[in-house]
Structure 1
Amino acid sequence: MRGFTNWVSISVLGIALLFFLFVKNQSSSSSTLQNMAQDQPKSIYDFTVKDIRGNDVSLSTYSGKVLLIVNVASKCGLTNSNYKELNVLYEKYKDQGFEILAFPCNQFAGQEPGNNEEIQETACTLFKAEFPIFDKVEVNGKNAAPIYKYLKSEKGGLFGDGIKWNFTKFLVDKEGKVVSRYAPTTSPLKIEKDIQNLLGAS
Structure 2
Amino acid sequence: MVDLILNRRSRRDGFQARPVPKDTIDTIIACALAAPSSKNAQPWRIHVVTSRATLGEIADAVDSARGAETYVPIDPATGLPRDYESSVSESAQVLRGVSLGLFVENRGRFSDGRRVVASAADGVRENALIGYSLEMVGLGATIQNMWLAASALGLAGVFMGDVLIAEEMIRERLGLAGDLVGVLALGYTEAESFPKRLGEDRVVLHD
Same structural fold, with TM-score higher than 0.5 when normalized by the shorter chain: no
Shorter-chain TM-score bucket reads under 0.3
Task: Give TM-score, length-normalised by structure 1.
Answer: 0.23
Higher relative contact order (CA 8 A, sep 6+): 2
Q: Could you say which structure has the larger radius of gyration?
A: 1
Task: Give TM-score, length-normalised by structure 2.
Answer: 0.22
